[in-house]
Amino acid sequence: APLPGERVLDACAAPGGKSGALLEFARGALDLVALDIDARRLGLVADNLSRLQRSAQLVAADLRREPDWWDGRPFDAILLDAPCSATGVIRRHPDIKLLRRAVDLPALAETQSELLRNCWRLLRPGGRLLYCTCSVLPAENTAVIERFLAAEPGARLDSLPAAVRHTPPLQAQSLGWQILPQEKAGGDGFYYACLRRDAAPGTA
């Protein structure tokens, strides 16, 4: 729920649907940075934003590296839709069952944790970070958040708005929220957790 005038980072932005949704929510009044590791796929972000008549700063960078693209101004909010096993979208992409193996999970979880840690460094005190995946596996979801909260004393799990919290098929987890694929509705599996960084003394 970005507020007009906020500085927002859409990490792992391609192909741009989430960037567009953020800008539409705030009626375009965001200082939005749309970042992706794949410069070629940033072209899709540009195409989608052009179609919506919205604009953002497009950055090709690897969030696992030092942020030499960053101007030092912290973000008010960050959306991290982390790369994952995509087990929540097997209904639409059945080849995932053949391409993903159990041995892939530790490496994916480490990448997710690394991206989360590095994004956190870019967030202002009092800011919020939404971590999400299209996975239904706890190793990529609640386990990542649990490790992060244990290692980062300035982070806390934020609550969701009541209107969202009580919307089926959303299911509360020990940490965060899970949507499971619905056979009748034809929806995908999805997980998210909203984290807030404790405000420094004298700040909001």
Q: List, by residue number, the catalytic residues.
A: 134
Q: How far is CA 147 from CA 42, 100, 182, in A?
A: 31, 23, 29
Q: Of 37, 67, 54, which Cα lies nearest the Cα of 2?
A: 54
Q: Which amino acid is at 133?
A: T
Q: By the 8 A CB rule, do 128 and 172 touch?
A: no
Q: By the 8 A CB rule, do 36 and 60 touch?
A: yes
User: What letter would DSSP give residue 180?
Assistant: -
Helices 105-120 and 142-151, axial angle in degrees (round to 10): 40
